[in-house]
Amino acid sequence: MQVAGYLKLSVAVALATILLKTVAWWVSGSVGLLSDALESLVNLAGALFALAMVVVAARPADADHPFGHHKAEYFSSGFEGVLIVAAALAILVAAALRLWEPQPLEAVGLGLVLSVVASILNGGLAWSMLAAARRHRSIALEGDARHLFTDVWTSAGVVAGLIAATLTGWLWLDPLIAIAVAGNILREGVRLIQGAADGLMDHALEPDQQAEIERILAGFDHAVIRFDHVRTRRAGQRRFVDLHMHMPSSWSLGRAAALRLAVEQALADAVPGLHTTIQLLPMQSEPGDVQEASREGGVT
């Protein structure tokens, strides 16, 4: 299943869990279950926005966006983070009011069953989505999966609070657990926002992929050629590397181009989806020589 397919499934599951959790809150009157239902509303909004951003990210490059639209996925992750923070604040307000004026709980058993069923749906989908996010290197899918995992932990906390309040008769346990859950949700929201901001700033490739690039380049004959100015970056699902390749000035253009093609192919085989840009330079050229040539209008 592709990224968009998982997000469409996430929308469907969000609608189902909203129904289950809203009924659970309605029959029990638990502010903890209310916080759980609010979190599911956020799940729905986040999944819809993530789906929209994945569609945008899949668009081909155009005149206004010559490198593509892949960074749109980071907006999805950041938006989900903002939604999570907003939900956490709403839960804190509702829990504080109930902590000030505790209310009796009703039909707790039915509410718990409905909440557990919804959590099983969310947990199974989140696990599958996180694995798919790693395969497809999709920040939008990862953000939605982690959001669902947050919802599962929310439900677990709420269930624990309801059971404790029912067994002890301490009604204040219900809103207290809701406050603790809101704190955990808030932490996850801030983490997603930070991750999205980091991605928008052209972060380097993951260490294991950088090591793989270095291994491939080291495999070529450095007595004849050498590489420098190796720079990497990632944008959504795409990976990029730019580098200089120095070779003897006596080589023909055809021989140089053939070697460049071999290097590009080796890197693409080692790091799937990698886009490589190689600048060809004569062996005696140094970084200062390139800059000087550029100022004088020379070809580099």
Instruction: Tell me the average pLDDT of the chain.
Output: 78
96: which DSSP letter? H
For residues 19-38, give the mean pLDDT.
Answer: 76
Q: pLDDT-based confidence at 106, cuts 50/70/90?
A: low
Reply yes or no on whether the pLDDT at 293 is more than 50: no
Of 39, 44, 46, nearest to 14 by C-alpha is 44
> The domain at 3-200 falls in which architecture?
Up-down Bundle (1.20)
Give yes or no for residue 298 having a pLDDT over 70. no
Closest CA to 12 of 160, 156, 118: 118
Could you tell me if 80 and 192 are in contact, meaning their C-beta atoms sit under 8 angstroms apart? yes
pLDDT, mean of residues 91-111: 70
Q: pLDDT tens for residues 206-230?
A: 888 899 999 999 998 777 899 999 9
Q: How far apart are the first and last CA of the chain?
A: 44
Query: Options 3.10.20.740, 3.30.70.1350, 3.50.50.60, 3.90.1150.10; which CATH number does 207-295 get?
Result: 3.30.70.1350
| Sequence-ordered list of residues with C-beta below 8 angstroms from that of 193, at least 6 positions apart, any chain | 78, 81, 82, 85
70: left (phi over 0), alpha (psi -120 to 50) or beta: alpha
pTM for the structure as a whole = 0.56
Domains of the chain, residue spans: 3-200, 207-295
- Given a cut of 70, is residue 287 above it in pLDDT? no
Percent of the chain clearing pLDDT 70 (strictly above)? 88
Separation between Cα atoms, residue 59 and residue 99, nearest integer Å: 49
The H-or-E segment that residue 276 falls in is strand 274-282
pLDDT in tens, 233-254: 877 667 889 999 999 988 998 9
Q: Is the pLDDT of residue 290 over 60?
A: no
Residue 294 in this model has a pLDDT that exceeds 60: no
User: Which residues partner with 282 through β-bridges?
Assistant: 247
Helix or strand (DSSP H, E) at 52 = helix 31-57
